[in-house]
Structure 1
Amino acid sequence: MTQQPKRTWFGPATLVAAAFIGPGTVVTASLAGANFGYALLWALVFSVLATMILQEMAARLGVVTQQGLGEAIHQHIASPMLRWGAIALILFAVVIGNSVYQGGNLMGATLGIAGVTGTPQPWMPIVIGGIAIVLLWSGNYHKLERVLIALVMLMSGAFIATLILSQPDWGAFFSGLLVPSLPAGSVLTVVALIGTTVVPYNLFLHAASAAKKWSGDAALADARRDLVVSIPLGGLISIAIVSTAASAFFGHAVQLEGARDLSEALRPLAGDSATWLMAIGLFAAGLSSSLTAPLAAAYALSGLLGYGANLRSLPFRLTWIGVISVGMLIASLKLKPVEVIWLAQVANGLLLPVMALFLLWACNHAMLGAKRNTGWQNLMAGVVVLIATGLGVRSIGAALAFW
C-alpha cells in the first residue's frame, strides 16, 4: 500500500487549478471583463462549483480504486466495441486536442515573457517546451506537484496584486459576483467562461494524480480538503483577471484583442508594476498548462491502453513528448493565439459531456464499493452533465461560426 504523505493543504487538485488557469482562460476572462465589466463574475462562481462536483468524483475514483479514469474505462467496460469507441474518442479529443491546447499554452508563456522584455522571440516556445520536457522527463510526480503548486502561488499573487493595483469598483464587483445577469450579447462569453474552467482532461489528470498521492478510504478527507482549497483558488485567479480587465477597459473607448493588450493598458492605470505582474502571471499560466496538458494526455492514453500510470514508462513518455512536440510546432507557425484557442475549444466541446458521463458511470460502478455516488451526488452530477452537454453544443457552434 502507498505510504501516506504528511498532510498538506495542496495536492493533486492544485494540478487541476494549474491546468484550467492557462492562456485561454486569461484571454477569455480578459475579454469578458473588457466587454461586460463585472456583470459575468457569477458565471465563474458557478464554474467553480461545477468543477468541484466533477473533480471530487474524479479524486474519489483515484483514491478508492488506485486507478485513473482511463484505467477504469479500460478494465470495466465489458463490450470491446464500446471500449475501443471510447479509446478512439479520447485519443482524438484528449491527446490531439491537448496538442492543440499546448500550442496556445506555449504562445501564452511567450507573450508573458514579451510583456517583460518588450519583444516576443520566435524561438521562445521551443525553450519553454524544452523546460516542460526536462521537468516531465524526471518522472517524479512529487517534484512536478511542487513545481505546479509554486506556479499556482505565483499566478495567485501576480493576478490578485494586479487586481488591487487596478482599483476596481468594489460595489459592481460584488454585485456581479452574487447577482446573475445576462447583458445583451453575453451568452457565448458565459459559455466560454464555464468552458475554460470545467475542463474535461482534468478528470483524467485528477483521478490518476490522486491515486499517486493517496490510498485508502481515510485519505478521502485529505483529497477533499485539497479540493476545497485549490479549486476556489483557481476560480479566484479567474475572477481577478475579469475584474482587472473591467477596471482597465470597460466603459473606455479602448479595444482589447488579447491578454498582452491588457498588460499594456494597465501601465497608465496602475503603473509599471501592474504591467509586470500581469506579464508574470501570464507566463506562469502558460508554463503550468504546458506541463499539465501533456501530463493529462499521457495519463489518459496510458490508462486506456492498459499501460498504467508509470511516469517513466516508454509509452507514457512518448505520449507527452508527442503532445509537446506538436504544441511547439503550432506555436512556431506564427498563428494567432485566439485562433488556436478557438480550435482547441472544438475538441473541448466534443469531449466534456461525454467524459462527464464516463465519470458518472465510473462513480456508480461496483468498483467503488461503499464509496459509490449517493443519490444527492448523482443529482448534482446529473445537472452538471446536462449543462456540460449544452456547453458542448454551444461551444462547437460558436467555434464553427468563428471559422
Structure 2
Amino acid sequence: MDTAEIRDGLRDMGPAWLAGAIAAGPATIGSLVLAARFGYDLLWVVLLSAPAGFVGLLLAARLGTFTEQGIVATVEDRLGEGWAWLLVADTVIVSMVAQLLIMFTLAAISAQLLGLSTEVWAVVWAVVLAVGLAGGGYRVAEVGAKLVVTAVVLVFIATLVVVPPDPGAAVGGLVPSVPSGSATAITGVLGGAVHVTLLTMHTYTMRAREWDADDYGLAKFDAGASMLVAFGLYSIAIFLVVAGTLGGQAVTPTAGAAAAALEPVVGEAAVTLFLVGILGAAVSTLGGNTVVPPFLVADKLGWGTTVEDARYRGLLAATALISAAGGFVTGNFVPLLAQALVIGAVGTPFALALVLYLLHLGSAERRPSTALTAAGLAVFAIVSLAAGNSVREMVVGLMESVTPVAALSVLFAAVVGVATVALGAKFVLRRGESPAAEPAD
C-alpha cells in the first residue's frame, strides 16, 4: 500500500471504529482487570484478542459489502424467517444486557468524578444518547466513536507511561497458560473483541456508508486501523498497567478499586487518568451499542435502517431512553460487566457460524480466501471453547447455588448451542447444492 492509498484510507475509514468503540468499553476494562489479577499470566490472551476481533470484522465486512444488505435480510433470504428471528433474539438479548450494565458503569463513574447520583446521571446520559443518535443517526455515532476511541487510547497509553510494566515478567505471559479460576476472565477478554453485536452491526455499517464489493479493500484497512491498532493498544496498555501494579494482589475486582490501588504507587494523576479513560470508554461503547438492536429489528420488520425512516429513528430513541434503567442497577459493576461479556461470548459462535455459512454457500466471488476461512474457523473454535468453559463453570455454580442470572445464562447457552450445531449440520447437508437452488426453511 503506497502513501496515497494510506492517506485515502485514513480519510475514508469509519465503520470499524464503531465496532472498535463497542469493543473498547468498560466491559473489556472489567475483564482486563480480572485477568490482571493473575499477574502477566494472561498476556497471551490479551494479545490474541485484537487479531481475533480483526478476523471477525473482515468476515462481517465481506458479507456486508458483497451482499449489499444487512445480515438479517441475508439470513432470511438464504435460510428463512425462523433463523432470522433467532439471530435477532440472540443479538438483542446480548446487546440490551450490555446496554444496561454499561449505562450503570457510566453513571457510577460520572457520579464519582462529578457528583450527583448514579440515577440522575443515567437519565442525563440516556437523553444525550437519544437526542444525539436519533437526531444525527449513524454519522454522529461514527464520528463520535473515532474521536472518543482515539482519546481513550491516548489516555491509557499515557497511564502506561506513568506506570511502566516489568518487561521480564511480561515475557513470561506470552506462554499460553490457564490459571485456575481464570475462565471468566479469558472469555471476557476474547468476548470483548469477538462479539455477536460487532459481527452483526458491521454488516449494517457497510450499508450506512454504501460500501460494496469494490470497497472491501478499504474495509480491511478500516478494520486494521480500528481493531488491530487502536483496540490492540487499548487492551494491552490497560492490562500492563493493572497487571504490573496489582497483579497477584487481593484487590477487589472493581475498576474504581483498581484505580484507587494505583494511588500509593503512582499518585493521583494515574488514578484520574484511569477513571477518565473508563468514562470515555463507556461513552464510546454506549454510542455504538445503542444502534445495534434498532439495526436488526428494523431490518427484520422491513423498515429503513437510517434516521430518514421515522420508525427506525423511534427505535433508536427508545433504545437510548430504556438504557436509563441501568442507573438503578446495584452491585459491583466489573464482575457484572464480565458476566455480560460471557453471555455475549455464548451468543457469538452462532453469529460467526452464520457469517461463515452465508459466505461459503454464496457466489464464488463472495467466498473468502482459504487463509481468511481458516482464520475464521480458528476464531470460532477459540471463542466456542472459551464460552464452553465459562458455561461449565456456571453449571458447577448452579449445583451449589441456583441464581436466576446463572440459570438464564445456561438456558441461553443451550439454545444457541443447539442452533449452532444444527447450522453446522445444515451446511454439511447442503454444501454440494447450488446456492441459487437453496430453499428457505
Q: Which amino acid aligns with 1:202?
A: L
Matched residue, 2:252:
256
Matched residue, 2:52:
50
Evaluate the alpha carbon distance shift between residue 216 and residue 91 of structure 1 in structure 2; reply closer, same or farther with a 3 A threshold: closer
2:312 corresponds to 1:316: yes
1:231 pairs with one of 227, 235, 241: 227
Equivalent pair of 1:349/1:396 in contact (CA under 8 Å): no
2:169 pairs with one of 159, 162, 172: 172
Q: Which amino acid aligns with 1:234?
A: F
CA distance in structure 2 between the partners assigned to 1:215 and 1:161 by the alignment:
35
Q: Deviations over 1:122-181 (max 9, x none)?
A: 3111111111111111244223211110110111011111122112212223442x3323
Matched residue, 1:384:
379
CA distance in structure 1 between the partners assigned to 2:76 and 2:313 by the alignment:
20
Q: Which amino acid aligns with 1:110?
A: A
Equivalent pair of 1:13/1:231 in contact (CA under 8 Å): yes
Matched residue, 2:31:
28
Matched residue, 1:8:
10
Evaluate the alpha carbon distance shift between residue 20 and residue 391 of structure 1 in structure 2; reply closer, same or farther with a 3 A threshold: same
CA shift, 1:317, in A, is 2.9
Q: Deviations over 1:30-74 (max 9, x none)?
A: 1211x1112211112222222111110111222222212122112
Evaluate the alpha carbon distance shift between residue 179 and residue 214 of structure 1 in structure 2; reply closer, same or farther with a 3 A threshold: farther
Equivalent pair of 1:122/1:332 in contact (CA under 8 Å): yes
Evaluate the alpha carbon distance shift between residue 53 and residue 175 of structure 1 in structure 2; reply closer, same or farther with a 3 A threshold: same
2:21 corresponds to 1:18: yes
After TM superposition, list the pairs within 5 Å mapping 1:273-288 onto structure 2: 273-288=269-284
* 162-171 or 14-23, larger mean C-alpha shift: 162-171
Q: Which amino acid aligns with 1:30?
A: V
2:354 corresponds to 1:354: no
The residue matched to 2:181 in structure 1 has which SS?
Answer: coil
Equivalent pair of 2:188/2:345 in contact (CA under 8 Å): no
2:291 corresponds to 1:289: no
Evaluate the alpha carbon distance shift between residue 397 and residue 126 of structure 1 in structure 2; reply closer, same or farther with a 3 A threshold: farther
Evaluate the alpha carbon distance shift between residue 346 and residue 122 of structure 1 in structure 2; reply closer, same or farther with a 3 A threshold: same
CA distance in structure 2 between the partners assigned to 1:397 and 1:297 by the alignment:
29
Segments of 4+ moved more than 4 angstroms: none
The residue matched to 1:59 in structure 2 has which SS?
Answer: helix
2:299 corresponds to 1:303: yes
CA distance in structure 2 between the partners assigned to 1:116 and 1:246 by the alignment:
24
Gap regions ≥5 residues in structure 2: 1-6, 404-441
CA distance in structure 2 between the partners assigned to 1:163 and 1:74 by the alignment:
47
**TM-score normalized by the length of structure 2:** 0.81
Gap regions ≥5 residues in structure 1: none
1:396 pairs with one of 384, 391, 396: 391
Higher relative contact order (CA 8 A, sep 6+): 1
After TM superposition, list the pairs within 5 Å mapping 1:109-258 onto structure 2: 109-117=106-114, 121-176=118-173, 178-232=174-228, 233-252=230-249, 254-258=250-254
Tell me how many residue pairs correspond in the alignment: 390
The residue matched to 1:195 in structure 2 has which SS?
Answer: helix
Equivalent pair of 1:129/1:290 in contact (CA under 8 Å): no
The residue matched to 2:360 in structure 1 has which SS?
Answer: coil
RMSD: 2.4
Equivalent pair of 2:188/2:338 in contact (CA under 8 Å): no
Matched residue, 1:62:
64
CA distance in structure 2 between the partners assigned to 1:343 and 1:180 by the alignment:
23
The residue matched to 1:373 in structure 2 has which SS?
Answer: coil
Q: Which amino acid aligns with 1:101?
A: A
Percent of aligned positions that are identical: 25
